[in-house]
Amino acid sequence: MQHDASKNQPAGVGMNTTNTYSNEALQPMQGVRASWREQALSTALVCLGLAYTLSWAEMGLALMTGPGEPIAALIASRALVGGLYICVAFRLQWARWITVALGFASAVLVGPMLGAEWHAFPVAALVTGAVLVFKLTASIFLLSPDASHGTR
């Protein structure tokens, strides 16, 4: 006499389907994912905050070398970026993607110029390099798949 295991399974479940994890076992795993998601976003926001703060120091150093750009434009650009970072903190999806794109673009466009800046003004090159590292780190954390969950 053969035992028919399919009679003990709910309707629609085949013989080859196994339920490896119970709902109780999945709940702690979901908590860990939520914790990682929050930690990735928190780390990205800290990096963005540090990059933003250093960008003001970078502007001060640029003004020490002489007015190459109008001061109003330098302040306006930092105010707009600050507004963008606030939108990222509010978990707006469009702001997250713009921040990721700007982070990678600044690394690609500004990174190669660090050598020339080093020869002209080493302290400014260090600050600019730190800003790029923080922006790139934030972009990577914002790009992670878990950072996109729970955003608007």
- Residues 117-141: tens digit of each pLDDT: 999 999 999 999 999 999 999 999 9
**Encoding tokens for residue 50?**
């540090």
Q: What is the pLDDT of residue 37?
A: 73
Per-residue model confidence (pLDDT) at position 20: 45
132, HSE (Cβ side, Cα atoms, 13 Å):
17
pLDDT at residue 38, rounded to an integer: 81
Closest CA to 97 of 36, 151, 53: 151
> 149: how many CB neighbours lie within 10 A of its CB?
10
pLDDT tens readout for residues 10-66: 555 555 544 444 555 545 555 555 676 788 899 999 999 999 999 999 999 988 887
pLDDT at position 21 is 45
Across residues 64-82, what is the average pLDDT?
90
Nearest 5°: CA angle at 143, between 140 and 146? Answer: 115
Predicted structure pTM score: 0.72
Q: Would you state the pLDDT for residue 17?
A: 47
